[in-house]
């Protein structure tokens, strides 16, 4: 639940502030005692901002605290029709900000905010007026279109997360529709459908069955029942284990290349019985050491008359979200005994029963589940031609270090790190092509870094923002909002010329529930979160790996399964745990770049209390690992997700498709197409009448041709 949403409008409200009485009347805050001559030093959203959240607060930061002087201040917000927006006003905790919270979500359009100094004569003088835009946004789960049909049911929890799974796996060739909108014509225009819904109405079941049995449509279904289960060749035999393990058949496709030992899933499962002609490609295990179990994932292969159907005995979308974000049943619990409540408390078990099995921390368990899903889709759909996809990171990088410090007011910590990264960077390097080494630093406002130096560093491509703090205490909706307001206000007063902040890691990593902080961050314009922090040391015990089961940035889900437009980027490498332990860091990177294929963007933390930043730089240089800021990673993921495949066609051993590549990828995006097909092996790729160079790489058991992605038409020939 977003912290700005309130159940009722309050047209008249009394607020006891730090200085006296304030009365809200139609959106105007009138102080009986206020500062005369106060100046506005900054505000949020910034003037001209074009992508403001519908849940944003409007804030004006003053150059001095409200004091006991005659006069008053108003903050008014007007919508695109010139009508005043109703809401609540209050002072920030330091009395240097005025915060306006709209009573309801802001509709798309232009808004004008105005702060006025209201004289006793009722003549008003504007201290500051600015405007911003709330865009009309499509749902995050909506795909760009393509050969895959993603069928969602709003009542089926977390099904929207399947869109994030597809994007993360580079399968940005899908159209999203509601189960209510499924029709024979829509099904016929797609090669493969993913059914995120559970129970399906009989009419829709008939449509899907006809498409599979007569149009050779391929289907992947989550926990199917009724006729969908019949199509999959499985019988529903009752409830299965909860929060168990999956053992993948790695001896044959599509499980080739996936980790061979059991990996975890989270949530409920069902017992599926196999009918003749259906095989298990993975099995359920209640515990890691169970000798056997019922199928976890099944496949009934198609033939000349019908398509293939795969069935999951658990909800992959929900399992992915829970594995990454932790146990929702542990929300608000101080489990590790170290205040405040942090994200690791959502994973910290008792009597050795952690939510994520740390004996498997070296395995990105959520990512391996997603890679099996990707392999399965390509394997099922091979009669329709090889399926193209995008690689995770620029230039086919298999590991990336996200360099991010928390500067708690050091004299020169940020400057020293930035200067060393600059010196280590190749001469004449390009920041936008990830050739220069860059980093993020989140600062207290009393940092030794001056305003001019900060501006110079951001001009060179470094990323600087406020280190927001709650004072190392747990937060609620109001205190979190005030913490952001105060920290950002202090930072903007000190560093007025820096660009908007796009990422966040809270001081002390305070994380008091499951997802509210991500919602709050989005309202403040921050969309890369690094608060999932692999710590404390006596729990981690030097096991470098994946607390969230993932090395891939993906959007958060709220407790109801709705996507939040903020990416979760785990902080995998924490200085309190891994400083002076370079072998653990290098093993993590070796598993990412080596035969295990545990690829990832690895978040880091250092606060200049040791030499961990220097150790990381040395390791990255030695292993040719890119070092980037949180902002660079955000811009990359946004641009990759905005790129897509269209008009894919398979005919006579020729695969044709068009690429729409976002300019923000800066020519670094890589396309992958399988080298094998039902009609033979890849012999060449052409675009604009010219042969395209490619390299051959095996990724999770599938051999791919990898080449530069650029907007245009492509044709691959197989013989």
* Average pLDDT, integer, range 498-514: 98
**What are 686's two structure tokens?**
């052409």
Fold (topology level) of 12-134 = Immunoglobulin-like (2.60.40)
Would you state the torsion angle of the CA atoms of residues 302, 306, 307, 308, taken in this order, to the nearest 10 degrees?
Answer: -40
Residue 136, classed as helix, strand or coil, is coil
* Average pLDDT, integer, range 327-354: 94
The pLDDT value given to residue 116: 84
The pLDDT value given to residue 551: 98
What is the percent of the chain with per-residue pLDDT over 90, rounded to a whole number? 86
Query: Rounded to an integer, what distance in angstroms lies between the CA atom of residue 389 and that of residue 672?
Result: 5
| pLDDT exceeds 70 at position 80 | yes
Check residues 277 and 3 and name the one with the higher pLDDT: 277
CB 609 within 8 A of CB 576: no
The pLDDT value given to residue 64: 86
Q: Is CATH 1.20.140.10 correct for 148-324+363-379?
A: no
Read off the pLDDT of residues 256-272 as tens digits, 9 standing for 90 and up. 999 999 999 999 999 99
Query: Rounded to an integer, what distance in angstroms lies between the CA atom of residue 82 and that of residue 72?
Result: 23
The pLDDT value given to residue 124: 56
E strand residue ranges, 545-691: 554-557, 563-568, 571-574, 600-605, 627-628, 644-651, 654-660, 670-674, 676-677, 680-687, 690-691
Instruction: Tell me how far the alpha carbon of residue 581 is from its chain's centroid.
Output: 29
The pLDDT value given to residue 436: 98
Residue of 532, 551, 540 lying closest to 581 (CA atoms): 540
| pLDDT exceeds 80 at position 37 | no
- Report CA-CA distances (Å) from 639 to 392, 422, 463, 676: 12, 25, 18, 29
Read off the pLDDT of residues 381-432 as tens digits, 9 standing for 90 and up. 999 999 999 999 999 999 999 999 999 999 999 999 999 999 999 999 999 9
* Average pLDDT, integer, range 362-371: 98
Beta bridge mates, 284:
246
- Report CA-CA distances (Å) from 248 to 158, 241, 265, 409: 23, 16, 12, 49
**Exposed/middle/buried for residue 213 (C-beta within 10 Å: 0-12, 13-18, 19+):** middle
* Average pLDDT, integer, range 97-119: 91
Instruction: Tell me how far the alpha carbon of residue 300 is from its chain's centroid.
Output: 33
CB 596 within 8 A of CB 395: no
Read off the pLDDT of residues 528-540 as tens digits, 9 standing for 90 and up. 999 999 999 999 9
Read off the pLDDT of residues 182-231 as tens digits, 9 standing for 90 and up. 999 999 999 999 999 667 999 999 999 999 999 999 999 999 999 999 99
CB 402 within 8 A of CB 602: yes
The pLDDT value given to residue 121: 43
| pLDDT exceeds 80 at position 30 | no
The pLDDT value given to residue 29: 40
| pLDDT exceeds 60 at position 27 | no
The pLDDT value given to residue 125: 64
Cis peptide before 182 (omega within 30 of 0): no
The pLDDT value given to residue 588: 98
The pLDDT value given to residue 568: 98
The pLDDT value given to residue 90: 87
| pLDDT exceeds 80 at position 43 | yes
CB 307 within 8 A of CB 475: no
- Running DSSP on this structure, what letter comes out for residue 223? S
Query: Rounded to an integer, what distance in angstroms lies between the CA atom of residue 588 and that of residue 577?
Result: 14
* Average pLDDT, integer, range 594-613: 98
Cis peptide before 340 (omega within 30 of 0): yes
DSSP 640-661: HHH-EEEEEEEETTEEEEEEE-
The average confidence (pLDDT) of the chain is: 92
3-state secondary structure 386-445: CCCEECCCHHHCCEEEECEEEECCCCCHHHHHHHHHHHHCCCCCCCCCCCCCCCEEEECC
* Average pLDDT, integer, range 355-372: 96
Query: Rounded to an integer, what distance in angstroms lies between the CA atom of residue 202 and that of residue 224?
Result: 13
pLDDT band for position 153 (cuts 50, 70, 90)? confident
The pLDDT value given to residue 71: 43
- Report CA-CA distances (Å) from 206 to 150, 302, 358, 423: 18, 18, 45, 65
Read off the pLDDT of residues 618-643 as tens digits, 9 standing for 90 and up. 999 999 999 999 999 999 999 999 99
Dihedrals phi, psi of 250, to nearest 5 degrees = -95, 5
CATH superfamily of 399-639: Glycoside hydrolase/deacetylase (3.20.20.370)
Read off the pLDDT of residues 298-338 as tens digits, 9 standing for 90 and up. 999 998 889 999 999 999 999 999 999 999 999 999 999 99
Query: Rounded to an integer, what distance in angstroms lies between the CA atom of residue 334 and that of residue 188?
Result: 52
The pLDDT value given to residue 39: 84
What is the percent of the chain with per-residue pLDDT over 70, rounded to a whole number? 93
| pLDDT exceeds 90 at position 74 | no
| pLDDT exceeds 80 at position 7 | no
**What are 343's two structure tokens?**
């994200």
């Amino acid at each position: 639940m977003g912290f700005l949403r309130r159940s009722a409008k309050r047209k008249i409200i009394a607020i006891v502030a730090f200085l006296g009485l304030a009365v809200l009347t139609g959106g105007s805050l009138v102080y009986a005692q206020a500062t005369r001559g106060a100046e506005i030093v900054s505000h949020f959203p910034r003037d001209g901002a074009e992508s403001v959240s519908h849940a944003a607060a409007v804030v004006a930061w003053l150059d001095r605290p409200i004091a006991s002087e005659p006069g008053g201040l108003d903050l008014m917000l007007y919508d695109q029709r010139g009508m005043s927006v109703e809401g609540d006003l209050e002072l920030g905790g330091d009395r240097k900000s005025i915060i306006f919270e709209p009573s309801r979500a802001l509709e798309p359009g232009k808004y004008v905010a105005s702060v006025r100094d209201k004289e006793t004569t009722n003549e008003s003088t504007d201290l500051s007026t600015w405007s911003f835009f709330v865009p009309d946004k499509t749902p995050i789960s909506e795909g760009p279109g393509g050969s895959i049909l993603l069928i969602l049911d709003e009542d089926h929890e977390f099904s929207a997360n399947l869109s994030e799974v597809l994007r993360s796996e580079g399968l940005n060739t899908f159209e999203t529709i509601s189960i209510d909108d499924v029709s024979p014509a829509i099904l016929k225009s797609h090669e493969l459908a993913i059914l995120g819904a559970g129970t399906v109405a009989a009419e829709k079941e008939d449509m899907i069955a006809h498409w599979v049995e007569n149009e050779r449509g391929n289907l992947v279904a989550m926990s199917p029942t009724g006729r969908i289960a019949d199509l999959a060749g499985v019988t529903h035999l009752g409830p299965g284990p909860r929060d168990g393990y999956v053992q993948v058949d790695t001896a044959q496709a599509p499980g080739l290349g996936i980790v061979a030992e059991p990996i975890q899933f989270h949530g409920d499962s069902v017992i599926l019985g196999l009918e003749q002609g259906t095989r298990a490609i993975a099995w359920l295990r209640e515990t890691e050491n169970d000798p056997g179990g019922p199928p976890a994932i099944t496949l009934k292969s198609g033939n000349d008359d019908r398509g293939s159907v795969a069935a999951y005995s658990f909800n992959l979308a929900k399992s992915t979200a829970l594995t990454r974000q932790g146990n929702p049943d542990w929300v608000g619990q101080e489990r590790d005994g170290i205040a405040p409540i942090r994200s690791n408390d959502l994973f910290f078990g008792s009597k050795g029963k952690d939510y994520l099995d740390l004996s498997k921390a070296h395995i990105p368990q959520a990512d391996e589940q997603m890679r099996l899903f990707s392999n399965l889709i390509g394997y099922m759909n091979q009669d329709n031609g090889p399926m193209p996809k995008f690689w995770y990171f620029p230039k086919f990088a298999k590991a990336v270090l996200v360099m991010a410090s928390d500067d708690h007011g050091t004299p020169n910590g940020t400057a020293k790190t930035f200067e060393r990264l600059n010196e280590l960077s190749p001469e004449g390097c390009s920041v936008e092509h990830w050739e220069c080494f860059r980093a993020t630093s989140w600062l207290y406002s009393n940092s030794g870094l001056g305003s001019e130096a900060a501006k110079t560093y951001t001009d060179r491509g470094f990323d600087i923002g406020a280190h927001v703090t709650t004072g190392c205490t747990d937060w609620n909706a109001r205190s979190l909002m005030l913490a952001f307001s105060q920290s950002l206000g202090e930072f903007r007063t000190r560093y007025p010329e820096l660009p908007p902040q796009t990422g966040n890691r809270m001081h002390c990593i305070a994380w008091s529930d499951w997802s509210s902080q991500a919602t709050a961050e989005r309202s403040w314009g921050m969309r890369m979160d690094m608060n999932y922090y692999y710590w404390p040391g006596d729990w981690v015990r030097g096991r470098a790996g994946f607390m969230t089961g993932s090395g891939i940035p993906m959007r958060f889900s709220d407790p109801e399964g709705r996507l939040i437009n903020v990416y979760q980027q785990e902080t995998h490498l924490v200085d309190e745990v891994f400083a002076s332990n370079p072998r653990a860091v290098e093993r993590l990177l070796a598993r990412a770049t080596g035969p295990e294929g545990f690829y990832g963007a690895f978040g880091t933390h250092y606060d200049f209390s040791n030499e961990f930043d220097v150790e990381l730089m040395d390791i990255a240089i030695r292993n040719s690992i890119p070092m980037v800021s949180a902002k660079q990673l955000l811009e990359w993921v946004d641009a990759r997700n905005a790129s897509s495949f269209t008009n894919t066609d398979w005919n006579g051993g020729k695969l044709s498709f068009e690429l729409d590549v976002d300019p923000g990828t800066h020519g670094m995006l890589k396309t992958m197409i399988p080298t094998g097909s039902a009609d033979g092996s890849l012999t060449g790729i052409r675009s604009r009448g010219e042969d395209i160079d490619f390299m051959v790489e095996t990724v999770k058991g599938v051999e791919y041709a990898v080449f530069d992605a650029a907007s245009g038409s492509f044709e691959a020939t197989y013989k």
